[in-house]
Amino acid sequence: MGERIGIYPGTFDPITLGHLDIIRRGAKLVDKLIIGVTTNPSKNPMFTPTERMDMVTRELATQGIENVSVIGFNALLMKFAEKQGASVIVRGLRAVADFEYEYQMAGMNQQLNDRIETIFLMADVSLQPIASKLVKEIALFGGDISDFVTPSVRDDVVARVDQLGRLGEY
């Protein structure tokens, strides 16, 4: 049997402590974990695909996880997974609301390629409320995001908010 390759896909806009937790734990389950940074323009990203890939790469370097790489993609996830030789898709779950969507996606992906399994990892309890969308929203309103991202990601987000302008402050 060959090398077991997993894909952890997402927009990572920005990468959060929750993402890093799933990456750390997912990397233990496979020989090689590919972080697939997708474009997904429907999510109105704060950072470009290149900026997000660079951010994820930088954060992984500080974690000391050896068997993880970062690849950008703009394709159907299952096609990307096939091209990378992956046999596993890693997905993180924060709450029951995530499960319904992820369950539907896993079912559709299985219809597209039943040789690739989807595994779900529950986020650490302390990290479950963290969502990139909320991190950006808090930052855009001038709130402190230090509990949700690493210091370097916080600096990236604050710098981008300074460029974009805050939405308001109370």
pLDDT tens profile 12-32: 999 999 999 999 999 999 999
Q: What is the pLDDT of residue 88?
A: 96
Element containing residue 162 per DSSP (H, E): helix 151-164
Print the domain residue range for 60.
Answer: 5-164
Encoded tokens for 142: 């001038």
Which residue of the set 19, 52, 136, 154 is catalytic? 19
Which residue of the set 4, 24, 25, 43 is catalytic? 43
The answer as to whether 78 is a domain residue is yes
136 confidence band (pLDDT: 50, 70, 90)? very high
Contacts of 75 (CB under 8 A, 6+ apart): none
Give the model confidence (pLDDT) of 38-94 as tens digits: 987 677 889 999 999 999 999 999 988 889 999 999 999 999 999 999 999 999 987
CA–CA separation, 27 vs 119, rounded Å? 12
* 132 tagged catalytic: yes
Q: What is the pLDDT of residue 114?
A: 86
* 136 tagged catalytic: no
Q: What CATH number is attached to the domain comprising 150? A: 3.40.50.620
* 43 tagged catalytic: yes
Whether 95 shows a pLDDT value over 80: the answer reads no
The residue among 121 and 94 whose pLDDT is bigger is 121
The answer as to whether 117 is a domain residue is yes
Q: What is the pTM of this model?
A: 0.90
The answer as to whether 170 is a domain residue is no
The residue among 169 and 70 whose pLDDT is bigger is 70
Which residue of the set 52, 132, 136, 154 is catalytic? 132
* Mean pLDDT in residue range 3-18: 96
Burial profile 7-19: b = 16 or more Cβ within 10 angstroms, e = fewer: bbbbbbbbbbbbb
* Mean pLDDT in residue range 118-127: 86
156 confidence band (pLDDT: 50, 70, 90)? very high
Q: How many folded domains does the chain comprise? A: 1
- How confident is the prediction for the chain on average, in pLDDT? 90
Q: What is the pLDDT of residue 168?
A: 63
Which residue of the set 4, 25, 32, 94 is catalytic? 94
Q: What is the pLDDT of residue 169?
A: 58
The answer as to whether 169 is a domain residue is no
The answer as to whether 44 is a domain residue is yes
